[in-house]
């Protein structure tokens, strides 16, 4: 039998279709709705009052609560509750003579028991972690021009970045503005101490290890930033014809998870011991000096205990290790295991001119194999960053253009 919610979804506006429900007050603290099929929905009355939808309490133009409470709604009790079948609404009468009504649909969408549904659908699509052998199956590829022209493709690209952690674009023109165009297609480019658009090529007096032709071991960019760059957009204009110059990549969240399963004590050390990440110098000839410093562990979890950020860059790890002496050796053992696992799971591929390699810089360890750079044999990439706040926002506007309604 179809659930009430599905019926409403499928047959909206057919007013003859009604869900019968009964409402009751439990201990004046909760309101319980029992639907005809026996399904129950339960809401704290303080939350109902806090989210009253009447024009005195709610400003429809911005879909937000009005700020008429100084201390919050905790002290107003519900007096009576009933379900109005005709209007398909829960009606609450409060002790201060206020009345609130809530559409059943609205309540169902805010069911506390199904809260994960909202987090997965709207907050962030669940990530799919992958091992080396699953690389091909997780590779999503798009045509550059389609990403620029079609919103549906832009959405697929951003979804792939959020879920798989990387994606490849093909067919970009030989133009240094490609990365800016992609960043602005999403929203806003990120300005950093390396500028907004940066050129990755072998440079004399290189101000960053990435601007050499030596191997660039697995790392994440900018661990030395509190607001670390979200995605890295790397456009290949010229690829080295020498052997090497290939990209390497490992899913850092997959590695963290493997470490957690196989070596929980090491995981705990890398999750908890803070490392000082630093970057001191200046970029190119502009000579604007910088001194970046951010203290954070290698594996960072978010408030839900999900993987949030990996920090790793050997060249940016400060020799000032500001932890108790007794933690140091154990930390190095854990770090060594993490890097062994990361290297064992690293994939390697060589981009061609016109390719744009885009990846989640909070998640993917990435690097590059050594190459020979000479006047006749060059390698030239152009890069830019975009923050995840901007990307998720764009993704949601594409997926839910009527979110406010
Ligand atoms: C970087 C980087 C990869 C490459 O510049 O941080 O990871 O292919 N570059 O040169
Ligand atoms: N670049 C490419 O974190 C880093 O310093 C990695 C960043 C120089 C902007 C390289
Ligand atoms: Zn109200
Ligand atoms: Zn990098």
Q: Of 102, 117, 132, which residue sits at a domain end?
A: 117
Rounded Cα distance between 364 and 163, Å, is: 12
- Residues 74 and 174 placed together within one structural domain of the fold: no
Q: Which atom of ligand 1 is nearest to the CA of 367?
A: 7
**Residue 13: per-residue pLDDT:** 39
What pTM was estimated for this model as a whole? Answer: 0.93
Q: Is residue 249 part of a domain?
A: yes
Ligand 1 mutation pick, 235, 381, 382, 385, max ligand atoms within 8 A of CB: 381
- Say whether both 384 and 289 belong to one domain: yes
* Residues 179, 253 within the same domain: yes
Looking at the structure, do residues 338 and 249 belong to the same domain, yes or no? yes
Where is the domain boundary, 117, 142, 168? 117
**pLDDT value of position 286:** 65
210 in the same domain as 340: yes
User: Rounded distance, CA 186 to CA 159, Å?
Assistant: 12
Q: Is residue 158 part of a domain?
A: yes
Q: Tell me the residue range of the domain where 342 lies.
A: 124-399
- In 61-215, the DSSP E strands lie at 64-65, 78-84, 89-94, 99-103, 141-143, 166-170, 197-200
Residue 361 lies in a domain: yes
Predicted pLDDT at 15: 40
Tokens at residue 295, please? 């203290």
Tokens 């990440």 sit at which residue?
A: 277
Average pLDDT of each block of 10 consecutive residues along the chain (405 residues)? 37 50 94 93 96 94 82 84 96 96 96 97 98 98 98 98 98 98 98 96 88 94 98 98 96 99 98 98 82 98 97 98 98 98 98 98 98 91 98 98 85
Q: Are residues 290 and 168 in the same domain?
A: yes
Domain end among 85, 117, 149? 117
Provide the domain count of the chain: 2
Q: Is 244 helix (H, G, I), strand (E, B) or coil?
A: coil
* Residue 404 counted as domain residue: no
Kindly state whether residue 75 falls inside one of the protein's structural domains: yes
Distance, CA 208 to ligand 2 centroid (Å)?
Answer: 7
Count of beta carbons in the 10 Å neighbourhood of residue 306: 12
Predicted confidence at residue 365, as pLDDT, reads 98
Residues whose beta carbon lies within 6 Å of some atom of ligand 1: 200, 210, 216, 221, 234, 247, 366, 368, 381
Is the domain of 22 the same as that of 151? no
Tokens of 30: 């909760």
């Amino acid at each position: 039998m179809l659930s009430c919610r599905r019926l409403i979804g499928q047959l909206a506006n057919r007013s003859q279709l009604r869900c019968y429900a009964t409402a009751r007050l439990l201990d004046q603290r909760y309101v319980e709705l029992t639907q005809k099929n026996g399904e129950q929905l339960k809401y704290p009355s303080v939350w109902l009052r806090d989210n009253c939808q009447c024009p005195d309490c709610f400003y429809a133009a911005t879909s937000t609560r009005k700020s008429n409470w100084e201390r919050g709604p905790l002290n107003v009790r519900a007096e009576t509750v009933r379900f109005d079948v005709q209007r398909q609404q829960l009606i609450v009468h409060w002790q201060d003579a206020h009345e609130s009504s809530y559409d059943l649909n609205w309540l169902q969408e805010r069911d506390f028991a199904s809260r994960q549904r909202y987090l997965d659908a709207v907050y962030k699509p669940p990530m799919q972690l992958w091992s080396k052998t699953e690389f091909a199956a997780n590779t999503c590829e798009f045509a550059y021009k389609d990403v620029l022209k079609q919103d549906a493709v832009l959405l697929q690209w951003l979804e792939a970045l959020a879920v798989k952690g990387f994606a490849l674009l093909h067919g970009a023109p030989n133009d240094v503005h490609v990365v800016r165009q992609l960043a602005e297609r999403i929203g806003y480019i990120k300005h950093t101490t390396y500028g907004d658009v940066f050129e990755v090529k072998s440079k004399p007096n290189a101000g960053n290890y990435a601007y050499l032709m030596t191997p660039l071991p697995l790392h994440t960019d900018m661990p030395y930033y509190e607001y670390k760059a979200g995605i890295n957009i790397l456009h290949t204009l010229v690829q080295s014809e020498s052997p090497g110059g290939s990209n390497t990549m490992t899913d850092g969240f997959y590695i963290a998870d493997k470490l957690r399963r196989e070596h929980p004590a090491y995981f705990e050390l890398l999750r908890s011991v803070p490392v000082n990440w630093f970057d001191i110098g200046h970029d190119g000839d502009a000579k604007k000096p910088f001194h970046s410093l951010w203290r954070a562990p290698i594996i960072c979890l978010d408030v839900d205990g999900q993987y949030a950020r990996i920090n790793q860059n050997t060249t940016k790890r400060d020799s000032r290790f500001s932890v108790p002496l007794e933690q140091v050796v154990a930390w190095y053992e854990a770090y060594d295991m993490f890097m062994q696992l990361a290297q064992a799971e690293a994939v390697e591929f060589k981009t061609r001119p016109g390719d744009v390699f885009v990846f989640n810089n909070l998640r993917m360890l990435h690097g590059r194999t050594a190459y020979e750079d000479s006047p006749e044999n060059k390698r030239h990439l152009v890069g830019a960053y975009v923050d995840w706040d901007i990307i998720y926002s764009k993704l949601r506007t594409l997926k839910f253009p009527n979110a406010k309604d």
